[in-house]
């Protein structure tokens, strides 16, 4: 596993590590963008997005959660309510 893959696995979406890390890297690192690196980043992103999408589809296919409407038509009162 590549270092960047391990780093991505360690990062948690709820922390601001990415923001702080990007600042440090911009200040201290000598960075070059390459087509293979960009392609790898896109591959990782697409794989993660596909996993999220497939998880969401599985959840929605299982059926709705929470309250559900009762079967059949709405009940009709046999006598009108007072004041009507």
CA-CA distances (angstroms) from residue 57 to 51, 60, 71? 10, 5, 25
Other CB atoms within a 10 A radius of the CB of residue 38 amount to: 10
Distance CA 55, CA 24 (A): 34
- pTM given for the model: 0.35
Mean residue pLDDT across the chain:
75
Q: Where are the domains positioned within the chain?
A: 17-60
pLDDT tens figures, 42-81: 999 999 888 887 766 554 544 556 678 888 888 887 777 7
Q: What is the pLDDT of residue 20?
A: 78
């Amino acid at each position: 596993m590549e270092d960047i893959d391990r780093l991505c696995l360690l990062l948690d979406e709820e922390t601001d590590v990415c923001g702080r890390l990007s600042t440090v890297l911009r200040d201290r690192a000598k960075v070059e963008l390459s087509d293979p690196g960009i392609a790898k980043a896109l591959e990782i992103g697409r794989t993660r997005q596909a996993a999220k999408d497939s998880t969401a589809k599985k959840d929605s296919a299982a059926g709705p959660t929470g309250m559900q409407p009762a079967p059949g038509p709405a009940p009709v009162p046999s006598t009108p309510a007072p004041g009507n």
